[in-house]
């Protein structure tokens, strides 16, 4: 029996409400989330183009915070973007990610910016490897310098992501985790929290189930990556933070806990990693 909508407390550690998918009803969606149990959202920037919108949302809602960074896909060359325009990393900065990072630097002085991200490595798309590796390393160093957590995107790049995380040992989040249970355990011991969203509920998501079983609840975070990856039983629809109710319920079933315990602990985990007041 589904508990949707949940009374929470739901803390969505990874959202993209600045996405065009919410242009028609963004304010209405966000206004309705607290009534569905949502107590926190971390809105993720992907480049200098959406960073101001992310921060504006964080200032518009007391329960929204922002992560500011450059996503590896923002380095995708213009001729590889299909019908979509290239990100400002290419169109404005000509691929000079260091100049874009410099332009983003003032954002980190804002108390509503709680993390560096979304950043990482993506080997699924034809993004130049050397450039994205150098960018990710620079963003890890920035997170350490600022004493902020890092929000890591890892798509088909486990070995290189893990190598940099082992080298620098930042605190933060591995978003939409797709690695093994064994790797999740050492990452958690090093101070990386593991994010689970709708994909964990998909039929055939056996690896995610093993990771959830292997980790203590104190190392787990809930997320959406909305508007993407809506969970079962609403897979394929536009996702929003309230749908985390299904993910929390699934984790509770696997761990033999009541959903309220899962929501309360993962919300506390989120506040801890983002250095927010309890």
Q: What is the mean pLDDT of each run of 10 residues along the chain (278 residues)?
A: 87 97 98 98 98 98 98 95 94 98 98 98 97 98 98 98 98 98 98 98 96 98 98 97 97 97 98 94
Instruction: Locate 139 and state its tokens.
Output: 């963003």
CA angle 130, 176, 42 (to 5 degrees): 100
Q: Residue 42 CB: number of other CB atoms within 10 A?
A: 28
Q: Give me the phi and psi of 42, to 5 degrees please.
A: -110, 110
Q: Where are the alpha helices (DSSP H) in 191-258?
A: 206-214, 244-255
Question: Which DSSP category does 84 fall into?
Answer: S
The whole model's pTM is what?
0.97
């Amino acid at each position: 029996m589904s508990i949707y909508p949940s009374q929470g407390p739901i803390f969505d550690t990874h959202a993209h409400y600045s996405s065009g998918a919410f242009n028609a009803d963004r304010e209405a969606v966000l206004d309705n989330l607290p009534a569905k149990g949502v107590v926190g959202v971390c809105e993720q920037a992907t480049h200098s183009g959406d960073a101001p919108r992310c921060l504006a949302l964080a200032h518009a809602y007391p329960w929204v915070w922002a992560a500011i960074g450059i996503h590896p896909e923002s380095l995708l060359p213009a001729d590889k973007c299909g019908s979509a325009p290239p990100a400002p990393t290419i169109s404005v900065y000509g691929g000079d990610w260091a100049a874009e990072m410099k332009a983003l630097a003032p954002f980190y002085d804002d108390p509503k910016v709680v993390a560096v991200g979304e950043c990482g490595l993506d080997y699924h798309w034809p993004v130049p490897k050397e450039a994205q590796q150098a960018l990710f390393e620079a963003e890890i160093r920035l997170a350490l310098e600022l004493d902020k957590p890092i929000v890591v995107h890892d798509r088909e790049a486990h070995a290189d992501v893990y190598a940099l995380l082992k080298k620098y040992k930042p605190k933060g989040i591995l978003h939409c985790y797709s690695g093994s249970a064994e790797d999740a355990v050492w990452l958690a011991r090093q101070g990386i929290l593991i994010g689970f969203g709708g994909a964990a509920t998909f039929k055939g998501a056996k690896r995610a189930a093993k990771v959830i079983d292997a980790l203590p609840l104190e190392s787990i975070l809930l997320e959406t990556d909305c508007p993407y990856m809506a969970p079962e039983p609403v897979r394929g629809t536009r996702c929003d933070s309230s749908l985390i109710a299904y993910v929390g319920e699934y984790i509770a079933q696997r761990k033999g806990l009541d959903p309220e315990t899962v929501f309360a602990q993962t919300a506390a985990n989120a506040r801890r990693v983002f250095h927010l007041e309890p």
